Amino acid sequence: MEKKRIFLSSPTMHGEEQKFIKEAFDTNWVAPLGPNVDAFEKEMAEYTGCGYAAALSAGTAAIHLAVKLAGVKEGDRVFCSSLTFSASCNPICYEKAIPVFIDSEEDTWNMDPKALEKAFEKYPDTKAVICVHLYGTPAKIDEIQEICHRHGAVLIEDAAESLASTFKGQMTGTFGDFGIYSFNGNKIITTSGGGMLVSKDEEVVAKARFLSTQARDAARWYQHSQIGYNYRMSNIIAGVGRGQLLHLEEHKAKKKAIYQQYKEAFADIEEISMNPMNPDGDANNWLSGMVLAKGCKVTPYQIMDALAEENIESRPVWKPMHLQPVFADCDFITLKEEGSVGEDIFNRGLCLPSDIKNTPEDMELIITTIRRLFGK
């Protein structure tokens, strides 16, 4: 008999999504744009306090437009968190700009403000900074924001993983000149795919909407004065997002409970630590991460293999971008004399199943499987 599949983080639907989708079908608004798109943008702006929002086809599209709107041109440098998914930095290369990767700090696993300062000393003319809130844990975003302002750099806040997380009571994604969110299938809420660009600058968001609809000029005929993109969200998936948004706080509470259960379950195993929290923030705990002590005889891959034997999904921590073959020629700024914080986390860490549909029995199986490897 095949064992039940336990996922890392799968979509959770509730039913309200169907109501908004049905409205789209009933009114024949199935193409990009429409009432659901307008309402989803407004509801996200109200929930996050971001000001204005443009619903797009992906979080990557939002980062790309943010990079363009930041004025980044061919040959410009852009600083980016190294410990992240490639979507955070690929748009830099779309514009033929040059990524420079910044190491993490151990307190939150996010961009190290001191390493960022060091980067500006080396490259003072850098145009923009892309800071990621990894796995939903807020970065030291106030320090990073101040550094960017002081150096005249545009701050792009990659909150793809951190929707509903706050820092000092303010939503992540609303500190930067631009913020971006992702609604990919594994995120805390999903539209199956999709993303959003946000800003307190209404003109900037209007420009994003213009560029994302093929940059069509205001003329009776089809006229284009600049290159545009087909990046707009469809009215159907915006309806899914509206239904999901109603349950965002519920999803966050369940994610936090999963993290806490893991933390308590492994508290007696000295070799195990959970991914650190920012004491000035409130994380959404999108994914619960584990890191093993240096010299631990159990490896992350042994844990992942043991879980896989039980048909349980887990995965490694993101491999840092400065270690990726495609970015081998890019500079990397760290405070470490040897290695880096990001590389160390990658070597010793893994992401645990964080699906909010996990039953008590599912969680018990995950935990006992891991504890068994440590003789517990």
d(CA 215, CA 212): 7
* pLDDT tens readout for residues 33-64: 899 999 999 999 999 999 999 999 999 999 99
Q: What is the mean pLDDT of residues 246-272?
A: 98
What's the rounded Cα separation, in Å, for the pair 288 and 157?
21
Query: Per the domain annotation, does 79 fall within a domain?
Result: yes
* Judgement on whether residues 24 and 103 belong to the same structural domain of the protein: yes
Q: What is the pLDDT of residue 118?
A: 98
Strand locations in 259-301 (E)? 272-274, 281-282, 288-292
Q: Where a domain ends, among 193, 221, 245?
A: 245
Calpha distance 49→170 (Å, rounded):
8
Residue with tokens 């820092």: 167
Residue 334 lies in a domain: yes
| 20 and 150 housed in the same domain | yes
Supply the pLDDT for residue 100: 98
Separation of CA 20 from chain center: 26
Backbone angles phi, psi at 205, to 5 degrees: -70, -40
Q: How far apart are the first and last CA of the chain?
A: 27
Residue after which a domain boundary falls, among 245, 274, 289: 245
Does one domain contain both 216 and 259? no
Structural domain includes residue 181: yes
CB 333 within 8 A of CB 119: yes
Of the residues 200, 222, 245, the one at which a domain ends = 245
**Cβ atoms 176, 151 nearer than 8 A:** no
Q: Which helix (H) or strand (E) holds 320?
A: none
Residues 232 and 256 in one domain: no
If asked whether residues 51 and 156 sit together in one domain, one would say: yes
Whether 187 and 159 have beta carbons less than 8 Å apart is answered as: no
The pLDDT value recorded for residue 33 is: 85
Which region among 17-26, 299-308, 325-334 has the lowest average model confidence (pLDDT)? 17-26
Q: Is 149 part of a structural domain of the chain?
A: yes
pLDDT band at residue 127 using 50, 70 and 90 as cut-offs: very high
259 with 233, same domain? no
List Cβ neighbours of 331 (8 Å cut-off, separation of 6 or more): 100, 101, 122
- Phi/psi at 149 (nearest 5 deg)? -60, -40
Range of the structural domain that residue 122 is part of: 16-245
Residue 2 lies in a domain: no
Please write the tens of the pLDDT for every residue from 160-199: 999 999 999 999 999 999 999 999 999 999 999 999 999 9
Residue 99 and residue 152 in one domain = yes
Q: What is the mean pLDDT of residues 203-232?
A: 95
**pLDDT (0 to 100) of residue 267:** 98
Q: Which amino acid is at 300?
A: P
The pair of three-digit structure tokens given for residue 352, joined into one six-digit string: 């645990």
* Local structure of 14: helix, strand or coil: coil
> Is there a single domain that holds both residue 107 and residue 238?
yes
Please report which confidence band the pLDDT of residue 21 belongs to, taking 50, 70 and 90 as the band edges.
very high
Q: Are 128 and 98 in contact (CB under 8 A)?
A: no
**124 plus 273 within the same structural domain:** no
The pLDDT score that the predictor gives to residue 32 is 76
pLDDT(219) > 80: yes
Q: 153 vs 29, which has greater pLDDT?
A: 153
User: What mean pLDDT value characterizes the chain?
Assistant: 97
pLDDT of residue 31: 77
Asked, for residue 148, whether it belongs to a domain, the answer is yes
* Residue at 124 is within a domain: yes
What residues pair up with 79 in beta bridges, in sequence order? 100, 129
Q: Are residues 227 and 122 in the same domain?
A: yes
Contact in structure between 349 and 318 (CB atoms under 8 Å): no
Same domain? 354 vs 222: no
**Residues 207 and 265 both lie in one domain:** no
In a domain, 172, yes or no: yes
pLDDT band at 80 (very low <50, low <70, confident <90, very high): very high
Q: What percent of the chain has pLDDT over 70?
A: 100
Q: What is the mean pLDDT of residues 339-360?
A: 98
Give the chain's domain count: 2
Considering only CA atoms, which of 322, 353, 326 is closest in space to residue 340? 322
Torsion of Cα atoms, 146 then 151 then 154 then 156, to 10°: -50
**Given phi > 0 = left and psi -120 to 50 = alpha, else beta, which region is 170?**
beta
* Spatial contact of 220 and 228, defined as CB atoms under 8 Å apart: no
Provide the phi-psi class of 214: left if phi over 0, else alpha when psi is between -120 and 50, else beta.
left
Q: Residue 325: give its domain's CATH number.
A: 3.90.1150.10
What is the pLDDT, as a whole number, of residue 29? 86
pLDDT (0 to 100) of residue 45: 98
User: Could you tell me the pTM of the whole model?
Assistant: 0.96
CATH number assigned to the domain comprising residue 129: 3.40.640.10
Contacts of 205 (CB under 8 A, 6+ apart): 51, 52, 53, 54, 197, 198, 199
* 180 backbone dihedrals φ, ψ, rounded to 5°: -135, 145
